[in-house]
A and B are shown apart, each in its own frame.
Chain A
Amino acid sequence: MILDDSHHRRRGIAARLHLDGPLLFLLLLLAGVGLLVLYSADAARISSQLTRLAVAFTVMVLLAQIPPENLQRWTPWLFAAGVAMLIAVLAVGVVGKGAQRWLGFGSFRFQPSELLKLAMPMMVAWFLRDTPLPPNVRRIAGALVIIAVPTLLIAKQPDLGTSLLVASSGAFVVLFSGIPWRWLVLAGMLALPSAGVLWKFFMHDYQRQRVLTFINPESDPLGSGYHIIQSKIAIGSGGLYGKGWLNGTQSHLEFLPERHTDFIFAVFGEEFGLTGVALLLALYFLIVLRGLYIATQAQDTFPRLLAGGLVMTFFVYIFVNIGMVSGILPVVGLPLPLVSFGGTSMVTLMASFGILMSIHTHRKLLKS
């Protein structure tokens, strides 16, 4: 067993803090771009966003210090606590915007579904950690039960966006564990009838309304279709090179609703055009690639599956948000990572990047 000497000597500040240099650089770059866009969308929120960013990056650094073995040990407890809190939310939670999502402790409000965004991939990875991969049918069935319980609890709050996100974070872990593709095809065929069941029994009127307006937004231009129409006008009028920073008339004339949160991508698209959009997507792609690389370098099943699940969850955020703002997906209310104004989901995301960095920097460095 020989320690990697060359690596040891070149340890910079980032390495000593258990941070991954390239990933950190990409995230900081993204946060910078985010601030630039937010300044244009709503300059008054810049200082508040800076505070949130500081908190989120601190959480990332803190989580990077925890070795994956510890995380693995805590996983069942974390997951159990998360599910218990979800049940508590349904029982005694605070109602906000027509949905029960928060647990109140005095003046402090906590959204347990955020915890599940991390605890879900951790739990599925934990469940599959000692099993020979690809897992057998019984293991996979078990994993599906693990995924189903919190997903249904969150869907019941009701918070469709988060429940889909939590479900997919678990599903990606199962996919990374190597289940045969033909099973996936089978699942796809089962999905259609179950979507019908979801529509009929689990969706609330406002969610159904969202899907309906998604199919034909122009049918209700002053109601729920207004968001999509306005964001498409904003993005479309941006053209190839955009109207220039701070010059987006759609966003600045306040045509664009939610322009500092979920719909901030429309501001970006209007002001920076297709060129800017392509560069932003490239930046996101680089982050995903770096994350996948980190996952492949992990030496154990748990960190490997966990890393893969977290990276793909991050990607789901990007895809769903941009897809919804540009009108190819229904409006489900997910923020654009590190660009949208908002605290909770950003902290959760940065926590997952902290875990990724921890996975990468706590490897037992063996010369193979």
Chain B
Amino acid sequence: MALRLTLKDAVQETYLFRSRAIVAGVFTALALLVLVARLYYLQVVHHTHFTTLSHNNRVAVQPIAPTRGLIYDRNGVILAENLPTYSLELVPERVDDMEQTLAAVRELIDVSESDLARFQDDLRHARRFEEIPLRFRLTDEEVARLAVNRHRLPGVEIKSRLTRNYPLGPLTAHVVGYVGRINVEELRNLEDPTNYSATNRIGKVGVEWSHETSLHGKVGFEQVETNARGRVLRVLERTAPQPGKNVQLNIDLRLQQAAEAAFAGERGALVAVEPRTGAVLALVSVPSYDTNLFVDGIDVATYRELSQSREQPLFNRALRGQYPPGSTAKPFVGLAGLELGDITPDTKLFCPGHYQLKGDERRYRDWKKEGHGWVDLNRSIVESCDVFYYDLALTLGIDRLSDFMQRFGFGHRTGIDIGGESSGLMPSRAWKRQARREAWFPGETLITGIGQGFTLTTPLQLAANTGALAVRGQRMQPQVVRAVSDPTDEQWHSVVPKPLPPVGVVHPEHWDSVIEAMRQVVHSPRGTARRIGYDAQFTIAGKTGTAQVFGIAQDAEYVEEDVAKLLRDHALFIGFAPVEEPRIAVAVIVENGGSGGAVASPVARRVMDEYLLRKEPAP
């Protein structure tokens, strides 16, 4: 016995194990038989019972789409709303003869070939009990005609749903943006796909895109009992969807309208901001397009027409258009000269109409061929003398100049809350070495001084920087959205203005010098924008600019009439008003408009008038 405890008996153990394995096999077989018996009980004995249950008592959970939040302008005008529209849908399972039904439907209402093709395609992929849409946006008449004939069209259903609508279409397209069908990639990137289980549209650009989370809301659910044909018999339990938040914009629709009218068919962009808060009062890019075209999916021909148009209506010039600032850069460069100690307000320079670098043949011309004579900072801004800034830029050197301009925001995104902006470009030695693998040339410093060369800015950036200049250095992040409503307490929650790092200036009187000069641009008889000054009911500080579209050969003349319209200079204007208490800062660019003083400044004036002279105050 003791021996048996310490020694292993291999043969006996193998025998023991095999008998246990056989028991395990038999046990497994019996257990599986239990399962089969259970399944026989369910699938054969009670088959009829469960079939009845499955047909007559289907309990389903259906998601309910939340209503998308509305978008208002600052005065409460609706910019984006939801309209009930009707669509025609077919359930294949319930249609007796598809061909015949389609023919009957087409007799009653218009069904285009592309609608039909998409339907046939969906038909192949969908399951037999799912609804397949045939037509969207039925008119009332079409709905009526279908309703009357419904008894002879089994399986044909009219479904009502809310469709996004932009009542002002093109006027607000570049701010509000639009929603469109969710594509595969967007679906994959959704943070919470369940929340979108009943949603088929998502914000693509503009506020619709940037504030998607607020606007969308929270999906609701409904437990319903349906019959064998999928028709809902009764609702068992319901979790209501939470509607999306309404969004109010800082945009003032009347300013948008005034600007659009003032552009009078020209191409260009205008951005107006409130300097103290960064609130974007107007953001216009013309020509524009009708955002409603995109909501149900735009057809190929229309899209091609829009995207290939030379006018580029889809291009958001205000946010993405990058233009040389031209002479509108001068107040900023002048301030750099004062602040960095290279000039004083009294520093004078003789302008002979051109400028030359030592040992360089090339003449850098002033726009005024005969020259401005003796020029100080004030005159250099009022009359927009180029030579003064050639010299100042050279004294400052590109790196100090570039550094100061970047402190203002040139070459950087403003961080506007609707996204989609370009950064512009403020060149420097290091940038050129990295981007172009070339050394910096002194001549490039000269033309940077007058906002030409590599320098690029967006209308939004110019407006924001002008605003910062108006309030003496306190930069604010441009904000399109003014407030977001809370659906639970119906209260508006204002968006807090967001200050950016200020442009620190050691001598505050330097602001005065530059701003006074800008006031004289508009209000002195020699100012380049005097035409908008003499009848203005408030004081305006401004600066005109022209941005070269193509280079002119040395010694050649730029005669506007001789140059094809598309190669003409861009006209620019920046300004703010009233000078004493700035309430609005504006940047305007008119593409190929020619002179800034003549073309761009009246657009700005009209928007300022609309804002400052309006009878009733903004709420």
Residues of A within 8 A of B (CB): 130-134, 136, 172, 175-176, 178, 221-222, 226, 230, 232-240, 249-250, 252-255, 269, 273-274, 277-278, 281, 284-285, 288-289, 292, 295-296, 301, 304-305, 308, 311-312, 315, 319, 322-323, 326-328
Contact = CB atoms under 8 A, between A and B. Distances in A.
Q: Is the interface of B mostly helix, strand, loop or mixed?
A: helix
B17 interface: yes
Contact of B43 (A239, A253, A295): A239
Interface stretch (B30-38, B455-463, B489-497): B30-38
Contacts of B50: 232-233, 235-237
B39 A277 contact: yes
Given A289-B25, A296-B18, A255 B53 contact: no
Contact of B129 (A230, A249, A296): A249
A121 to B, nearest CB: 14
Interface stretch (B7-15, B208-216, B443-451): B7-15
Nearest to B53: A233
B64 to A, nearest CB: 15
Given A132-B9, A250-B54, A326-B42, A237 B17 contact: no
Nearest to A236: B50
B43 A222 contact: no
10 contacts: A222-B59, A233-B53, A236-B43, A236-B49, A239-B44, A249-B58, A277-B39, A278-B36, A308-B21, A328-B38
Contact of B42 (A221, A235, A250, A281): A235
Contacts of A292: 21, 24-25
B504 interface: no
Given A232-B42, A269-B43, A319-B31, A222 B237 contact: yes
Interface residues of B, number: 46
Given A288-B28, A292-B21, A322 B47 contact: no
Contacts of A237: 47, 50-51, 53-55
Contacts of A234: 54
Those 3 A-B pairs whose CB atoms lie nearest each other, nearest first: A236-B50, A237-B54, A236-B42
A134 B20 CA distance: 11
A6 B51 CA distance: 57
Interface centre among A132, A230, A269, A312 (most CB of B within 10 A): A132
A327 B59 CA distance: 18
B223 interface: yes
Contact of B6 (A132, A236, A240, A281): A132
A319 B35 contact: yes
Interface of B: 4-9, 13, 16-18, 20-21, 24-25, 28-29, 31-32, 34-36, 38-40, 42-44, 46-47, 49-51, 53-55, 58-61, 127, 129, 223, 226, 230, 236-237
Nearest to B226: A253
Contact of A222 (B18, B38, B40, B223): B223
Contacts of B59: 221-222, 226, 230, 255
A234 B43 CA distance: 9
Contacts of A175: 20, 24
Contacts of A240: 43-44, 47
Given A221-B59, A319-B35, A326-B42, 9 more contacts: A132-B4, A134-B16, A172-B24, A236-B42, A237-B51, A239-B51, A253-B230, A255-B58, A284-B32
A238 B21 CA distance: 35
A158 B456 CA distance: 62
Nearest to A257: B61
Contacts of B29: 285
B16 A178 contact: yes
B221 to A, nearest CB: 12
A281 B43 CA distance: 15
Given A253-B60, A274-B44, A296 B39 contact: no
A236 B47 contact: yes
Nearest to B10: A299
A289 B13 CA distance: 20
Interface centre among B4, B25, B44, B54 (most CB of A within 10 A): B54
Contacts of B18: 296
Contacts of B35: 281, 319, 322-323, 326
A133 B38 CA distance: 38
A308 B20 contact: yes
Nearest to B54: A237
Nearest to B45: A236
A319 B236 CA distance: 34
Contacts of A232: 42, 50
A304 B7 CA distance: 18
Contacts of A250: 54, 58
Given A239-B44, A285-B28, A285-B29, A133 B51 contact: no
A295 B21 contact: yes
Contacts of A305: 17
Contacts of A233: 50, 53-54
B587 to A, nearest CB: 45
Interface centre among B36, B223, B237 (most CB of A within 10 A): B36
Nearest to A239: B47
Nearest to A295: B21
Contacts of A254: 60-61
B32 A308 contact: no
Contacts of B237: 222
A7 B143 CA distance: 79
Given A222-B223, A308-B20, A312-B24, A235 B39 contact: yes
Given A239-B51, A288-B28, A132 B7 contact: yes
Contacts of B127: 252
Nearest to B52: A237
Nearest to A132: B8
A176 B47 contact: no
